Structures are given as structure tokens and as C-alpha cells.
Amino acid sequence: MSAFWSAWVTVITLAVILGCTWLLLATRKSQPHQETTEETLGHEFDGIAEYDNPLPKWWFQMFIGTVVFGLCYLVLYPGLGNYQGLLGWTSHNQWEEEIQHAEEVYKPVFAKYASLPTEELLKPENAGGLKMGQRMFANNCSLCHGSAATGAHGFPNLTDNDWLYGGDPKTIKTTITNGRVGGMPPWGAVLGEEGVRDVAHYVLSLSGAESDSEAAERGKGQFQALCTACHGADAKGLPILGAPNLTDNTWLYGGSFENIAHTIRNGRAGVMPAHKDLLSEDKINLITAYVYSLSNK
């Protein structure tokens, strides 16, 4: 914060506190009596009259107490621009202390399961570790994959057996640790609109979906020339590239003709963020086990 804005915040904050204090004291001083009275302020509504009585002493003292508390708080803690307070407290330092405390408390718990391979974590006696993985999945992964891990448009379903990069424990752990960057180039400029639609019909035919057979036949040659390098000659995909299998009925961005045509025309770009800097290896190990368990009951 610049010096100007720091001074601005400081002046406004103190002015409000001092202004409220002055108003409180001035109002009380202007009252000619300090005890209750039957005098009214002269206006009445629906049979209710407002009496000209001072604030009860306890109420007045409570207001004074809030002013004193506020001033003490601003001396001890940040609140006046760039002033850090006598205690030097910051939310970042408090967060680090809480994280450190949590690490000390839960590290032995994670260590209990750290040395166990994924298959062992699926056994009933290690159900506690799997539940920990489920909770960490909910905190770190459900935003994209959903709370039930069934995915969404552009985000893979983790509960089936269809995997872009492979569904074995080692591959899943690599994906969580390092992330993935998958991309399909746009072919609209190369194929033209008619070519895009022909290839879309051919892709539909690969999974047995309803398609225009003549258009699919025209699109077959274009598919073989442009798409087999990633999806394979049999169109069953290449896990090393994250290229999906086009012969099943599992679609990341939708399997309708328009969705497929849009993918061919404009391409796709998918990113799975790396979690190695966010989660310890022990935690990643438990999330891996949970994800693996979703399709391996």
C-alpha cells in the first residue's frame, strides 16, 4: 500500500472512532438530567411517545468499552494502513503456524500409510487411509472432477475404466504429481467445413453411432492422413499422448455430431495442474489409492 493510501485509511479509521466517541459524549452532556423522566420529545405515533431519557449507564459504559477495545486493537494489530501493530501479527504467519501444527499432528497418521502400495491401501484393514484420500480428493480434485468423481464436460470421469493416460497406480500417481497437458490441434482451416463434417461422421461411425455412411467414407481417408498419428491406425488412442479411444462410447467433450465437429474444427486444450508443490508425497499416495479404488472395487 502506498504512503498516501496508508495515511488515508489511518485518518478515516481514527476519524470514525473519535467522531463516534464525540457524538456519544456530546449527546450525553447535552441532556439536562441523568435520571429517567416523564418528559417526551414532543412526538407521538400510534399511542407511543418517545421519552427524553439518557442512555442507561451500563449501555453508555458498553459504548465506551467498545471504543477503548477498538483503539487497543489498532495498537496491537494491523488496521491503520501500513502499520503492522505491536504484536507483528499477520494472517500469513498465522496460516503458516496452523499448517505447521497440522503437519506435526497428522504427519504420523500419514506416515502409517506412506509405505503401503496402492493395492494394500484398498484392503479393509486400511480403510482409514482410503477415507483420508477421499477427503483430500474432495478438497483438491472435486472442483473439476465432481464430488462423486464422475467428471463433467472436459473433465474425465474417474469411476469408469476409460483412461487417457492409463489407470494403473503408477500412472495415476504420475498424473497427480506432475499434471498433464493435453492438446488437439484445430483442423478447420486444413479440412474446410465440408471436410470437418465428413471426418465427424467417420468418427461417429467408429463407435457404432448413427452417421452418414457416404460422408463417413469420404472422411475416412482424411482421418487416416491427419489423425492416426495421435489416435492410432485403429483409432483406439495412444495413452502416451493422452489421445482418447474413439471406438468406444466414452467422450470427454460430448459425443454428439456437433460436439465432435466442434472438436475437429477448433481443437481442444486440456490441462491437469501438477500437485507436487501443493501436496506431500504421502498425501498424493493416498489420493492415488482413492482414485484407483473408484474403478477397482
- Find the Cα–Cα–Cα–Cα dihedral 127, 128, 133, 134, rounded to 10°: 70
Give Cα separations from 138 to 99, 127, 296 (angstroms).
19, 17, 19
Residues 125 and 15 in one domain: no
Domains in the chain, number? 3
pLDDT in 10s for each residue of the chain, 297 residues: 799 999 999 999 999 999 999 998 887 766 655 566 677 777 777 878 877 777 788 888 999 999 999 999 999 999 999 999 999 899 999 999 998 998 888 888 888 888 889 989 999 999 999 999 999 999 999 999 999 999 999 999 999 999 999 999 999 999 999 999 999 999 999 999 999 999 999 999 999 999 999 999 999 999 999 999 999 999 999 999 999 999 998 999 999 999 999 999 999 999 999 999 999 899 999 999 999 999 987
Return the closest-CA partner of residue 70 out of 14, 125, 29, 115: 14
- Asked if 160 contacts 295 with a C-beta cutoff of 8 angstroms, the reply is yes
Residues 163 and 228 in one domain: no
Co-location of 162 and 196 in the same domain: no
Q: 140, 265 in Cβ contact below 8 A?
A: no
List the domain range (segments joined by +) for residue 26. Answer: 3-89
Do 41 and 78 belong together in one domain?
A: yes
Tell whether 218 and 230 lie within a shared domain: yes
pTM of the shown model: 0.71
- Give which of 188, 253, 250 is closest to 222, Cα–Cα: 188
Q: What is the CATH number of the domain that holds 247?
A: 1.10.760.10
Q: Which three cell numbers stand for residue 217?
A: 467414407
Residues 78 and 224 in one domain: no
Same domain (yes/no): 17, 46: yes
Residue pair 230/241 in contact by the 8 Å Cβ criterion:
yes
Task: Indicate whether 12 and 141 sit together in one domain.
Answer: no
